A and B are shown apart, each in its own frame.
Chain A
Amino acid sequence: MSGDMSIRDRLVRLLEEGTKDSVVELGDDTSLIRSGLLDSLGLFRLALWIEKETGSRLDLESLDPAKEWDSIEGILTFVAKHLEG
């Protein structure tokens, strides 16, 4: 049940689906975008997931995905910041 999973677990599951051809184990600081591990579909799904988790549309003017979403740690920080805001 996704409702019982922590936000981190849900994120890791999403990323694993987006990198399913890879055998790379995803650590908190594994580079996702700059390394090319996350392809365009994976990135698109991530953007939709973040919008769903934060309940708001992404503000493209202040967004820098290559920097802010390049690791699990970065994505969780981004989501937490937007939930607080």
Chain B
Amino acid sequence: MFLDLQVGDLIEPLTGRRWDRASILRRFCARTAYLQKQGMSDSDIVFMHYGNTLEFFVDLLAIWSLGGCAVPIDSRLTTFEIATLARAAKPRFSLWLGTPEEGTARALSNMGIKVLDTSEVADGGLAAPSVSFSGHSLVLDHPALILFTSGTTGDPKGVVHTHRSLRARWVTLRQALGLRKFRRTLCLLPTHFGHGLICNCLFPWLSGQDLFILPPFKTEVILQLGALLDKHEITFMSSVPTVWRLALKTAKPPRSRTLQRVFCGSAPLSAFLWREIQEWTGTGEIFNSYGITETGSWVAGTTIPDFTPEDGLIGEAWGAVIKILNKSDTDTPPCLTPECSRGEAGHVWINTPALMKGYLGRDDLTRNVVSQGWFFTGDIGILDDRGWFYLKGREREEINKGGMKVHPGDIDAVAERFRQSPDVCTFGFEDPLFGENVGIAVVLKEPRMDNLRDLIQWLRQHLGTHQMPQRWYLLDEIPRTSRGKVNRSHVAQKCALLEPVDTRKLSR
């Protein structure tokens, strides 16, 4: 599990809790014993519903030491979505810190899943532990982590990483980036997605660096970001452009300038914002980082000499080979496909030892993106004359809401199950803070406002808050191509000319 045979300290700046190595080891022993007593064993799949807490990280180690596979779950998901993921992953355990909502616990129990409140576990007392962190049954090619990236409402896509792929990511990052600047790492990203968990948290922490954990995307946290950086002498943090847009408008900059390096990723970073972050943080080492959950997140960034912020500039690969090809399918092996010439835009393919094992139970989806070890990212990019990598766009359909990916098909699927099966089309629209946000066009068979209100309520019951459409448009019909297909960008363009429904009036 570890790159240096030890972990760093875990700290929650908002609560003041701090667990040093001895304390972590003690709790690890107590929690491992508890999980073992509950029947957890080799190859069990385990849902974890309490990310961004000290307990989450210790329990992750405990699950791994028992040979299990952890599935961090977004705490904002509805019961319906959690049940959908459970049907796909078939976990044996569902771990909570506190009592889960009754309906959720019942739904999981009815599926034969053991629901446990881990807040009952004692902290291990003061006695020195008699065991070490070393897992007795850790097998490198066993699944270690499943991260769901889409399909929470119907057809889940779970990225499976093994201990081997995760370790490959951490070792290659260490070679490319060193550890010195990660000495005191802050995480304010959610730990249920790759950027936050694999790279921002586990890479430094499992290498013995201290990890400061904050609740994700909390407005109150961003307002005091500068003060938090000062107080805890943070040397490294990663984030997304949305956090910076808000911090740069509302938070006092740090005074002590302890930050030595900052990553920004998961969404496009403009040159303008890039320079503003440099000024606010007081460090020139603001690196635009590029990564995908399937590749263990960070695979490239701006560790290049004397760069000037530019729109789309990423930089060089970390523990990966990046190729720009003219093809976007896996039928022909990438090695038989000519590369784009320098400066020519094409499809981004990545070769890395940190590549996922595949999508959980979906070999068909895996085959669509992996060919002879090369991963098709769905992004468009270029390599310039110096070999520097630039992102130019993407072909994927997802909506990038402040770094969190929302899949329009997931929302359509829920809306279409509403009574009378409305015709709908979910799309992204430009948003000043999040970059993109979620809009939806709806055709109701009986276009009355009370029907729309009920549809909104239906979606609220079935979707996480981050997936809820923020703009609603009532249309007579959804525009389609001559072949009957919906082009989401065309629908978005049509809706942009219309006034959205004032949903606040509907809720009164």
* Residue A48 CB within 8 A of the other chain: yes
Question: 29 interchain pairs (CB within 8 A)?
Answer: A16-B504, A20-B502, A20-B503, A20-B504, A21-B468, A21-B503, A23-B508, A36-B219, A39-B219, A40-B217, A40-B222, A40-B242, A40-B246, A41-B433, A41-B437, A43-B246, A43-B250, A44-B249, A44-B250, A44-B432, A44-B433, A48-B432, A58-B249, A60-B251, A60-B253, A61-B253, A63-B250, A65-B223, A66-B223
Cα A66 to Cα B218 in complex, Å, equals: 13
A65 to B250, Cβ gap below 8 A?
A: yes
Q: Which residues of chain B are within 8 angstroms of A76 by Cβ–Cβ distance?
A: none
Known: A19-B504, A60-B250. 5 other contacts (CB 8 A): A33-B223, A58-B249, A61-B252, A65-B250, A66-B220
Q: Which of B215-252 contact A (CB under 8 A)?
A: 217, 219-220, 222-224, 242, 245-246, 249-252
Q: Which residues of chain B are within 8 angstroms of A19 by Cβ–Cβ distance?
A: 504
* Residue A72 CB within 8 A of the other chain: no
Q: Residue B219 contacts which of A20, A40, A48 (CB distance < 8 angstroms)?
A: A40
Q: Which residues of chain B are within 8 angstroms of A48 by Cβ–Cβ distance?
A: 249, 432
Cα A44 to Cα B433 in complex, Å, equals: 7
Cα A17 to Cα B245 in complex, Å, equals: 19
* Residue B431 CB within 8 A of the other chain: yes
A47 to B249, Cβ gap below 8 A?
A: yes
Q: Nearest-CB distance from B42 to chain A (Å)?
A: 42
The residue among B223, B224, B245, B431 with the most chain A CB atoms within 10 A of its own CB is B223
B508 to A45, Cβ gap below 8 A?
A: no
Q: Which residue of A lies closest to B218 (CB)?
A: A40
A40 to B433, Cβ gap below 8 A?
A: yes
Q: Which residues of chain A are within 8 angstroms of B437 by Cβ–Cβ distance?
A: 41
Q: Nearest-CB distance from A68 to chain B (Å)?
A: 11
* Residue B482 CB within 8 A of the other chain: no
Cα A39 to Cα B217 in complex, Å, equals: 10
* Residue B337 CB within 8 A of the other chain: no
* Residue A75 CB within 8 A of the other chain: no
Given A38-B219, A40-B219, A65-B223: A23 touches B507 (CB 8 Å cut-off): yes
Cα A16 to Cα B504 in complex, Å, equals: 8
B434 to A41, Cβ gap below 8 A?
A: yes
A41 to B431, Cβ gap below 8 A?
A: yes
Q: Which residues of chain A are within 8 angstroms of B432 by Cβ–Cβ distance?
A: 44-45, 48
Q: How many residues of A are counted as interface, with CB atoms below 8 angstroms from the partner's CB atoms?
A: 24
Q: Which residues of chain B are within 8 angstroms of A21 by Cβ–Cβ distance?
A: 468, 503-504, 507
Interface code A69-84, partner B: CB below 8 Å = 1, 0 otherwise? 0000000000000000
Cα A63 to Cα B217 in complex, Å, equals: 20
Q: Nearest-CB distance from A39 to chain B (Å)?
A: 6
Q: Which of A17-53 contact B (CB under 8 A)?
A: 17, 19-21, 23, 33-34, 36, 38-41, 43-45, 47-48
Q: Which residue of A lies closest to B247 (CB)?
A: A60
Cα A2 to Cα B433 in complex, Å, equals: 23
Cα A63 to Cα B252 in complex, Å, equals: 7
Q: Which residues of chain B are within 8 angstroms of A39 by Cβ–Cβ distance?
A: 219
Q: Which of B423-479 contact A (CB under 8 A)?
A: 431-434, 437, 468
Closest 8 CB pairs of A and B: A47-B249, A20-B504, A44-B433, A40-B219, A65-B250, A41-B433, A44-B246, A60-B252
Cα A45 to Cα B437 in complex, Å, equals: 14
Given A20-B503, A20-B504, A33-B220: A44 touches B245 (CB 8 Å cut-off): yes
Q: Which residue of B lies closest to A50 (CB)?
A: B249
Q: Which residues of chain B are within 8 angstroms of A20 by Cβ–Cβ distance?
A: 502-504
Q: Nearest-CB distance from A54 to chain B (Å)?
A: 13
Cα A78 to Cα B507 in complex, Å, equals: 31
Cα A58 to Cα B276 in complex, Å, equals: 14
Q: Which residue of A lies closest to B226 (CB)?
A: A60
Q: Which residues of chain B are within 8 angstroms of A16 by Cβ–Cβ distance?
A: 504
Q: Which residues of chain B are within 8 angstroms of A63 by Cβ–Cβ distance?
A: 250, 252
Q: Nearest-CB distance from B396 to chain A (Å)?
A: 23
Q: Which residue of A lies closest to B434 (CB)?
A: A41
Q: Which residues of chain A are within 8 angstroms of B217 by Cβ–Cβ distance?
A: 40
Q: Which residues of chain A are within 8 angstroms of B245 by Cβ–Cβ distance?
A: 44
Cα A23 to Cα B249 in complex, Å, equals: 27
Q: Which residues of chain A are within 8 angstroms of B249 by Cβ–Cβ distance?
A: 44, 47-48, 58
Cα A79 to Cα B431 in complex, Å, equals: 25
Q: Which residues of chain B are within 8 angstroms of A34 by Cβ–Cβ distance?
A: 220
Q: Which residues of chain B are within 8 angstroms of A43 by Cβ–Cβ distance?
A: 219, 223, 246, 250
